[in-house]
Amino acid sequence: MMKLKIDSAASGKASLEVLFFVKKSVQFSPVLSGKASAEAEKVLEKIESEIYGDLEVVEIENRKLIFVNAAKERGLSSLDHLRTAAYRLAKYTRKRHIECVNLFLADASAEQVKSVFHGLAYAGYSFDRYKSKPKKAFAVTFEITAMERVKEFKKIAAEVETEQASITLAKDLINTPGSDLPPAGMALEAGKVAKECNLKIKIRDRKALEKEGFNGLVTVGKGSKNEPRLVTLEYRPAKAVKGIHLGIVGKGITFDTGGLCLKPQNGMSEMISDMSGSAATLAAIRAIALLKLPVQVTAVLALAENAIGAGAVLPGDIFKAKNGKTVMVDNTDAEGRLILTDGLAEAASYKVTHLIDLATLTGAMVRALGYAVTGFFSNDEKLAEAVIESGKASCEKFWQMPLEEEYADGLKTPFADMKNIGNEAGAISAALFLKEFVPENVKWSHWDIAGTAFVTKEWKYTAFGATGIGVQTLIELVRHLGNSHGK
């Protein structure tokens, strides 16, 4: 928990004052005079010598100052380092039960202020719903000195609060165990968001899916008593830019055992996160609606549990996808792309102009780029550029991968139009498979978040568990589309 108090001047109640710095220059902090500034120099030298730097509390001229290293190190952008520094600061103050801390941010840019607020908020996240003794809450008040920029800072704080609430929603859903959040549970959560944000929602259950030929979901969901769902949410703002309609499709495998092509036992529990794409999709449309961004958005959650059961799909089985193509299930663990055939078909039926899908799709992507960089694909270079730029503004790194047609032959099979695994280049083969279900004229980008959705050690401002990847970049991308006036 943290409280933000934004004011033009310091109240004098704070027992600590914070000085952020980037390299040797003290950033947006009250100027230290003469002797004090020389003392500060020494502290800076000391912290700067430690990579990833830390905090140092020093008393100078009766002021208790805390220096926080926000230097650009180890590949993080300076905004991201600032977030991390703010996160460490919040953790530090809470651990020591410091009630009130003053941050002088009046000289900071709007982006820097936003980063600091995000970093402080990240420190407030914990997932202790299942602990018998949850940690005692302790709220630190961060007093922000804004001078004449109070109004501007309050607007930024409100925006960050909306974004963070959505990120928290995504993380909570992802961290919840598979048995406690089956497809029907996720659909209920989507219902709550629809109500909160006044969105139109449509939920299809197994019967409806069978009737309408959404056979990817039906096929994958057959092995579980927790039946599949397809959820569609519509955001239609009063003022929307013309000619743009964004579809977002999320993979929502609420647990992935691999099916009959069973996964190895080591690390299988991490597959509670195999619905991260759908969680990010839901979280993003929530924030987009609450921020009243001027772009039409349709969000689709493809939800199923990939389990073993008497009715489970057999390797070699063939089904007809919603767009008429037939698919042979060569590997039941490559289930994400099967349910996405339905998600993509559903989004396409809304005549979207732009389409993003997010999926924890391949182990190959985890091996290629790890936890810090999301690999993505696109059939449109302008959209690809916008994804990278929106990622940068959100401190989420994206790297474009090729939709290499030379590997497309790997999806051929004698008895059906295609099979669900290729021969080589696992992440690319998966993307090529998805491409078969995207209409030609739609600008599409596929984000393989398998490596970046869930971390097993503390990283930047995320503890063990869900990172919330994708939520901010999606919001930022919609801001970008909203500014591009239909182009």
Residues involved in catalysis: 263, 337
* Residues in CB range of 376: below 8 A, 6 or more apart: 384, 387, 398, 399, 400, 401, 445, 446, 447, 448
Between residues 53 and 465, which has the closer beta carbon with respect to ligand BES? 465
Residue 217 engages Zn ion in binding (rule: CB under 5 A): no
Contact call for residue 425 and ligand BES (CB under 6 A) = no
Backbone angles phi, psi at 300, to 5 degrees: -125, 125
Asked if 253 is part of the footprint of Zn ion (rule: CB under 5 A), the reply reads yes
| Residue number with CB closer to ligand BES (2 or 272) | 272
Question: Which of Zn ion, ligand BES, none lies near 363, with the C-beta cut-off 5 to 8 A by kind?
Answer: ligand BES
Q: How far is the CB of 264 from ligand BES (least distance, A)?
A: 10
What SS3 class is residue 268? helix
Q: Taking CB under 6 A as the rule, does residue 357 contact ligand BES? A: no
Going by C-beta distance under 8 Å and a sequence separation of 6 or more, which residues neighbour residue 185? 254
Count of residues engaged in binding ligand BES, rule: CB under 6 A: 16
Burial of 150 (0-12, 13-18, 19+ CB in 10 A): middle
The CA distance from 353 to 246, in Å, is 6
**Residue 22's beta-bridge partner residues?**
25
Q: How far apart are CA 430 and CA 420, in angstroms?
A: 8
- Where b means 16+ CB within 10 Å and e means fewer, 87-107 reads bbbbbbbbeeebebbbbbbbe
Token duo for residue 460:
């930047």
Three-class SS of residue 55? strand
Among 80, 189, 256, 305, binds Zn ion (CB under 5 A): 256
Do 10 and 143 form a contact (C-beta atoms < 8 A)? yes
Q: State phi, psi for 30 to the nearest 5 degrees.
A: -60, 135
> Among Zn ion, ligand BES, none, what binds residue 450 when CB lies within 5 to 8 Å by partner kind?
ligand BES
Q: Of all residues in this chain, which one has the CB nearest to ligand BES in the complex?
A: 363
Report the partner that residue 44 touches, choosing among Zn ion, ligand BES, none (CB closer than 5 to 8 A by kind). none
Site for Zn ion in 268-287 (CB under 5 A): 274
462 backbone dihedrals φ, ψ, rounded to 5°: -125, 130
User: DSSP letters of 76-105?
Assistant: --HHHHHHHHHHHHHHHHHHTT--EEEEE-
Among 278, 360, 374, 473, binds ligand BES (CB under 6 A): 360
Taking residues 329 to 348 in sequence order and writing x for each that binds Zn ion by CB under 5 A, - otherwise, the string is ----x-xx------------
Compute the least distance from the CB of residue 306 to Zn ion, in Å.
6
Nearer to ligand BES, 123 or 220 (CB): 220
Q: 308-327 mask for Zn ion (x: CB under 5 A)?
A: --------------------
Q: Which of 121, 260, 364, 477 binds ligand BES (CB under 6 A)?
A: 364
Between CA 63 and CA 58 the distance in angstroms is 8
Minimum distance, C-beta of residue 181 to ligand BES, in the bound complex (Å): 16
Select the binding partner of residue 426 from Zn ion, ligand BES, none (C-beta < 5 to 8 A, by kind): ligand BES
**Going residue by residue from 87 to 116, which x/- string records binding to ligand BES, judged by CB under 6 A?**
------------------------------
183 vs 336, which CB is nearer to Zn ion?
Answer: 336
Amino acid at 48: E
Question: Smallest gap, in angstroms, from Cβ of residue 389 to ligand BES?
Answer: 26
Which listed range, 139-147, 180-188, 326-334, 456-464, lies at the site for ligand BES (CB under 6 A)? 326-334
Binding mask 364-383 for Zn ion (x = CB under 5 A): --------------------
Q: Which of 172, 227, 305, 335 binds ligand BES (CB under 6 A)?
A: 335
For residue 207, the tally of other CB atoms under 10 A from its CB is 10
**CA 200 centroid distance within chain:** 23
Q: How many CA atoms lie within 13 A of 121 on its CB side?
A: 20
Restricted to residues 114-173, the positions that interact with ligand BES (CB under 6 A) are: none
The phi and psi torsions of 354 (rounded to 5 degrees) equal -125, 145
Stretch that binds ligand BES, among 44-52, 140-148, 331-339, 431-439 (CB under 6 A): 331-339
* DSSP conformational letter for 148: G
Which residue(s) pair with 60 in the sheet? 63
Termini Cα distance of the chain: 42
Tell which positions 227-266 bind ligand BES, by CB under 6 A: 256
Taking CB under 6 A as the criterion, the residue among 189, 274, 305, 346 binding ligand BES is: 274
User: What distance in Å separates the CA atoms of residue 170 and residue 353, rounded to the nearest whole number?
Assistant: 26
Which residues contact Zn ion by CB under 5 A? 253, 256, 274, 333, 335-336
List interacting residues with ligand BES (CB under 6 A). 256, 274, 331, 333-336, 360-364, 366, 421, 426, 450
